[in-house]
Structure 1
């Protein structure tokens, strides 16, 4: 059987998750991942990587639940294996608190995390400015470890990696028979998707080993996430802001806000500041289309998987499996109808 040449664009958590799913599930495909930046220089490397997510407005809820469940189950299996330390995946417990009772007290993912419940009145006394809270155990995935781990898994499955800049998918149409676009914010120029926009996020890593439980304000702006080597505190959500440098005023405000939730942070030592641009979009784009190449008019199948905003890690494996299903549909329509899918 002729090997199908396929390319995945993007080396963040969406790109490598999708590439691994394809390479492991479709061994008759020759899969190459191309990107201009790899870990530790991707947006995913600085992600909080903690698993819960806001609901997207225009995607069926059952599909979102499946994305979350598939991702949670995948990472939970890693967290409970001997690969947990190498992959940077761990279970973490804590709470999400609200200044006003939210319209949805029970989020759609409540049955998928572990031990979901409401905070008691006694527990809420820790946070006098807040009137409602949720406690649960979820998963934290540290991409500075997870991305290299995924790359090794991808290479083991026969995948190839190439560092290059791609300015338009047309550049790939002459070489590959199927393109998987996981370019994140780059999709704005790569495929002309003006719905994709930068959402600037600034975080700090703090040395505070006495903090063991996460705290997140329900507005999503203020959070404290203990990790393996440090505590991540944040953050900002600045729509349309393309600044990639740390703003001292933002850092001071983050420490002030987080200090109100966890006063002991005042004794912590700031180890690093980090800024990344999330690929904001009203809804993630997980769909397929056909690209007609310029010049020879060749038809090339394209599967898109990008635009996850701040939910990249949370939905990465679920949308990768979804994209894999779309890849299989494309292959059925290509010149290899006998391929065993």
Structure 2
């Protein structure tokens, strides 16, 4: 029996999570991951990596809950074991604050994070322009450590990694099964015009005295303390392809964050970063058959996570494994021999 040849396209957090899950769950598969960029040059690397979510409009909430819970449980386990420093996964406590009371006070993920509660009036006093807040402990995943750690785990499971730009699925016709985790690249790779960039700009600053995250509920302003620095954000510019740092935006980020946490005026800026989140109205985790070189090849898609790649990667990866299993059961016998 020769192993089934599976290729995963994409070297970000979704690609490597999916490649690890497939190679560990299906040892009969020979898994190769292809990407033109790897850590530290992926969009995932710049992500603040704090785990929480906003719902996608047309996906059953139960499915989204499962994605969130599976990812949270996986990362929580890492945060609490000896692999934590290598994997770059830590516990993070703090507040999400709102200028107006939101329509949904308890988000769908509130039952999975630790100690979710509404903030007291006393706690809200330090944020005089905000009327409502949520306090909870979640996990923070630093992809500059987590991606190399996942790659090591993937190679240990027998996976192969190759640096290569894939511009068309036709180039992959010699594989038995394709898993597409190309994020924003799916716009050209599979012609998905629903994909659009959501530009994000952040600063990393030195402020070791800060231990708690603060996130404005509008998603525009946030302060996320990490292992080596504090991430300050941000921007959410849909349809904006600019990858250059905008000095005016950097100034605005620093000003907005300092209003929430005045001590940041004493922080030293370490670096500035811009990335394009893979925006899509609904995340896509599904399978289809594609005609490549006269042969029907199963393709499993796992992309369109927007700003929630780190939050949902492991959960959608497990979903993708289920779809891969379905495809393997339907593969013609010669592909398995």
Query: What is the TM-score when the length of structure 1 is the normalising length?
Result: 0.97
Residue equivalent to 2:191: 192
What is the DSSP-based 3-state SS (H/G/I as helix, E as strand, rest coil) of the residue aligned with 2:231? strand
Residue equivalent to 1:71: 71
Q: Report Cα offsets for 1:158-200 as digits up to 9, x if no partner.
A: 0000000100111101x10000000000000000000000000
Shift of 1:337: 10
What is the DSSP-based 3-state SS (H/G/I as helix, E as strand, rest coil) of the residue aligned with 1:189? helix
Shift of 1:245: 1.1
Q: Structure 2: how far apart are the matches of 1:50 and 1:130?
A: 21
Q: Structure 2: how far apart are the matches of 1:48 and 1:193?
A: 27
Q: Structure 2: how far apart are the matches of 1:280 and 1:292?
A: 27
Q: Report Cα offsets for 1:106-133 as digits up to 9, x if no partner.
A: 0000000000000000000010000000
What is the DSSP-based 3-state SS (H/G/I as helix, E as strand, rest coil) of the residue aligned with 1:58? coil
Q: Report Cα offsets for 1:227-274 as digits up to 9, x if no partner.
A: 000000000000111111110001000001000100000000000000
Q: Structure 2: how far apart are the matches of 1:115 and 1:129?
A: 25
Q: Does residue 1:118 correspond to 2:118, yes or no?
A: yes
Residue equivalent to 1:272: 271
Q: Structure 2: how far apart are the matches of 1:12 and 1:165?
A: 14
Whether the 8 Å contact between 2:53 and 2:308 is mirrored in structure 1 is: yes
Residue equivalent to 1:326: 323
Question: Which runs of 5 or more residues in structure 1 are unaligned?
Answer: none
Q: Structure 1: how far apart are the matches of 2:281 and 2:92?
A: 28
Q: Structure 1: how far apart are the matches of 2:227 and 2:40?
A: 17
Q: Structure 2: how far apart are the matches of 1:127 and 1:281?
A: 33
Shift of 1:293: 1.1
1:316 pairs, out of 299, 309, 313, with 313
Whether the 8 Å contact between 2:176 and 2:335 is mirrored in structure 1 is: no
Q: Report Cα offsets for 1:272-331 as digits up to 9, x if no partner.
A: 00000000000110000001014xx10100000000000000000000000000000000
Residue equivalent to 2:297: 300
Residue equivalent to 1:217: 216
1:335 pairs, out of 314, 332, 335, with 332
What is the DSSP-based 3-state SS (H/G/I as helix, E as strand, rest coil) of the residue aligned with 2:122? helix
Q: Structure 2: how far apart are the matches of 1:232 and 1:109?
A: 23
Count of matched residue positions in the alignment of Structure 1 and Structure 2: 336
Shift of 1:336: 4.5
Residue equivalent to 1:47: 47
Q: Structure 2: how far apart are the matches of 1:244 and 1:50?
A: 22
Q: Structure 2: how far apart are the matches of 1:293 and 1:18?
A: 23
Q: Structure 1: how far apart are the matches of 2:95 and 2:170?
A: 46
Structure 1 residues 337, 322: closer, same or farther in 2, change over 3 A?
farther
Q: Report Cα offsets for 1:207-244 as digits up to 9, x if no partner.
A: 00000000000000000000000000000000111111
Residue equivalent to 1:286: 285
Tell me how large the CA RMSD over aligned residues is.
1.1
- Equivalent residues in 2 for 1:74-85, closer than 5 Å: 74-85=74-85
What is the DSSP-based 3-state SS (H/G/I as helix, E as strand, rest coil) of the residue aligned with 1:209? coil
Q: Does residue 1:206 correspond to 2:193, yes or no?
A: no
- Equivalent residues in 2 for 1:120-269, closer than 5 Å: 120-173=120-173, 175-269=174-268
Q: Structure 2: how far apart are the matches of 1:46 and 1:16?
A: 16
Query: What is the TM-score when the length of structure 2 is the normalising length?
Result: 0.99
Shift of 1:335: 2.4
